Structure 1
Amino acid sequence: MTTQETTLTAGDAEVTVAPGNGCRISSLKISGTELLRQGEKYGCFPMVPWCGRIRDGQFRDGGHTHQMPLNSPPHAIHGFGRNAEWTTARATRTEAAFTYDLTDPWPYSGRVTQLVSLAENSLTLSLGVETYGDSFPAQAGWHPWFNRTITDGGSSVQIAFDPAWQEERGADHLPTGKRIEATPGPWDDCFGMPEGVDVMLSWPGALQVEVKSPEQWVVVYDEQDAAVCVEPQTGPPNGLNTAPRLVTPVEPLEASTTWTWSHL
């Protein structure tokens, strides 16, 4: 078992995974073109055991209130997996599996597994969260940073999707609980897609990537010049409080996303 970077290849696609840096996808190249923003904080990282912000870093489980570190004051954001050192369980030329054991300050014991599977025209990521004991609420998802432009002098990426609703965002960047019609971007917003996440990213004259997931929630963030984010996840921001999904001894929390690309 190792935490060294793992590189997968299929056709003209190459993916690099950095288990020692939050098990993030640190690189995705298609025909030598890098799709993900480079840098220690970027690439595509798993959000686990929660996604987005938790209000004031607090969530309730039964009669207990748990306080998470405020790493994005006044809230806690994106879970602990992205900052953890994961272990490579197995790897072949096109597939790899990685594990991470939940520890303090998360109040429950459990294991997270991420599977990475590369095909010639697609990348599939899967997350599973298991408990070693008590049931607990959790979320899982991904936070990719797609480069806004992928070629010198190339056009900016275009984002196309058709959500059923948008979660109204309050001044604290958390959903208010009200669902509204989708508004024009720029966004740092959560959208509902009950039939599953389906977002198309197009770089005119170069590539298009369809981001799909069986999950019903996606956060789209395009307020930065360098990159845009399309984040499939198992619940909305602050979902540990508003839409908890339980990890139980007989039912882990599982999520997946597939990115499929083609040349334009």
Structure 2
Amino acid sequence: MATTGAVPMITLNNGVEIPQLGFGVFQIPPEDTKEATLVALREGYRHIDTAEMYGNEREVGEAVRESGIDRDKIFVTSKLNNGYHAPEAAAKAFEDTLSALDIGHLDLFLMHWPLTDGGYVDAWKAMEEMLQGGRVRAIGVSNFKQHHLNRLFAETTVVPAVNQIEIHPYLAQDDMRDFDREHQIATEAWSPIAQGKVLDDAVIERIARRTGKSPAQVVLRWHIQRGDIVFPKSVTPERVRDNFAIFDFELSDADMSDITALDRAERTGPDPDVFDYIPS
């Protein structure tokens, strides 16, 4: 793990480096996305996570272009929507994402959900062709469990660079994280503070008081020290700034253990084994 400025860089299994802390735009309305992303970039974020499903790729691209920051200094992720797992549909969706962003290349493209029909294998083969085409630097998956990944290992060629899954103190996902690590797959954490549900937990509040940090900063620091790639989202400039200010303190081993012990296998989002949502 190398460090550029304050934010550690994690090297993916194909040699591409990704900032460990990023800015997420999930549930940020398109009309607010450009300014929110510009605020994040001004604060020092260099990793932006969007998706076709979020409906705000275009505004992310506008912010990247207007930021004045060298394109190669910003890591941009987007995702293949659930309705486009057929190979031709996946290829078109990728082209549409590149067109919407209008920033040249994409740094990481993820399959958003595996779905239950098994079509994710064909979609992954299409994504392997995208990688070979050179306009995306790395490909990965999101919300994949071990059995999904084992099928990819058996039936395809490229090992995903990233698996983006729900992780927070109430859903620590240590087994899945260990599996990813064993196969040289970086783990990204979505819903890192459980949509705020963990912030009033007594254990986290106690650690926040001792460190002089906010509960959100404590939880984000827990992710960083575990090795998760994390991308909190907010449209509030002060919170965007606070979420970035997590590299001037460390949690003790006891703090880390106490937070991880809060795990109760509680999801804020759907279980990937049953989720089949396709946006209309």
Query: Please, what TM-score do these two structures have when normalized by structure 1?
Result: 0.27
Compare the two structures and name the one with the higher strand fraction: 1
